[in-house]
Structure 1
Amino acid sequence: MLKLIQLELRKHRFARNFRTAGIANLVLILFLILIGFTDQGAEDNAFANYQVSFMLIDTFARAVFIIFGGALIAKLIISEYRNKTMNVMFTYPIKRHKIIAAKLIIVFVFTFMMILFTDVLMGALLVVANHFYDFIPDTLTMRDAVVLLLKYTVSSLSAAGMALIPLFFGMRKHSVTTTLVSSILLVLVVCSGFNGPTFSINTLIVIPLTLGAIGLWIASLSMIRLETKDVN
């Protein structure tokens, strides 16, 4: 399996995606800075305290990389079905479900790593910025930091599972557009905010965990269907 993953990474020149993710992080930093300046002095300031600030960061990180995950599914799987290159790969002396599993593992691990990395990076930058400009009144203890790290590790895992949900819609007609649109609609639902930045569907931990489990179930189902409908 590891060899298959390495071959897929080389085949699709996967290192380019890290560069694109870096650009996305840079844009996200600029966007958060813009929000900070726009909300300055407002009663419902997005950076009123660390809890709300980290929730905002995690929400945007999830939104960006769930869509990114949908784009990877479209590139690694859906496009290869449309171009018939997947049929060629299925002629190799390798079990079909292993080929798909390698691709899905890449999407899952990349999405998980990038969401967690973005949460940690943005959080660290927020703490450093607050040290110099003191715009957040409360303090962040080491215990709070450890709890947040554990919380957003679980959050990143559930989001990585959610990123696989667009596979279900994209595989129905092998449509790249449907895959991307479904990932965007998923983000609009999961990352939508109610009552400002203090509450969203994402704060109800049962919902993202359930959606993450659904994403993993869809991934398993797609491998089971390889022997029948999706191969024809």
Structure 2
Amino acid sequence: MIRVTFVILASVIMSRLIIEEYRSNTITLLFTYPISRKKLMISKLMIVAGFIFTTIILSNLFIGSLFYIVDSYANVIPGNLTLGLVKSQLITLFLSAVSSTGIGLIPLYFGMRKKSTPATVISAVLLVTFINSDVDGFSLFNNIIAVPLAFAAVGVFIAYLSFRKIENMDVN
């Protein structure tokens, strides 16, 4: 649920930071400043990606710590927590956060195409529904590690395509 929530949140933040500015033409004022357009767009995308990555990590650590504390009092799970298990879960958490951050950039393509906030959010909802759906214990995100990493690479590539020609294009 954390991944799904924050991928959808990434689409909402991108629609507010980028797409709404294009739709209302307030981006033209921003482009009049003596800062490169690429740097402005990269910084906006880095803000979104950094925020989403950080909040996914912190949320998972908070939930995991809370679960550990409850388990230490209630003994819900038999056995002990080992250092090897913690390391493997931290690696999984990091890869999950990286891939979810990249996946969160994919809705930018649909939003920039239509200059539409609803298109951005709906594409994010459909994307996470497809990737995180669970059928009899099988999920594309959890069972095949290459799928979320490939979608993350697609998201980074889409983010690159969104600003690669921005210096030469007219905003109108």
Q: TM-score range by the shorter chain?
A: over 0.9
Q: Percent identity?
A: 39
Q: Which residue of 1 aligns with 2:145?
A: 205
- The corresponding residue for 2:80 is 139
Amino acid corresponding to residue 201 of structure 1 in structure 2:
L
SS at match of 2:60: helix
Q: Deviations over 1:76-126 (max 9, x none)?
A: 000111121101111111111111111000010111111111111111111
Q: Which amino acid aligns with 2:118?
A: T
Answer 1 or 2: higher relative contact order, Cα 8 Å, separation at least 6: 2
**Cα distance in 1, alignment partners of residues 56 and 170 from structure 2:** 31
**Deviation of the 1:167 alpha carbon:** 0.3
SS at structure 1 position matched to 2:9: helix
Aligned to 1:223: 163
Structure 1, unmatched stretches of 5+, are 1-59
Match of 1:97 among 31, 38, 42: 38
Give the structure 2 partner of residue 149 of structure 1.
90
CA RMSD of aligned residues (A): 1.4
Taking structure 1 as the reference length, the TM-score comes to 0.70
What letter is aligned with 2:63?
A: M
Contact 2:25 2:171 in 1 (8 A): no
CA shift, 1:61, in A, is 1.0
Alpha-carbon distance in structure 1 between the residues aligned to 2:120 and 2:168:
21
**Number of residue-to-residue matches in the alignment:** 171
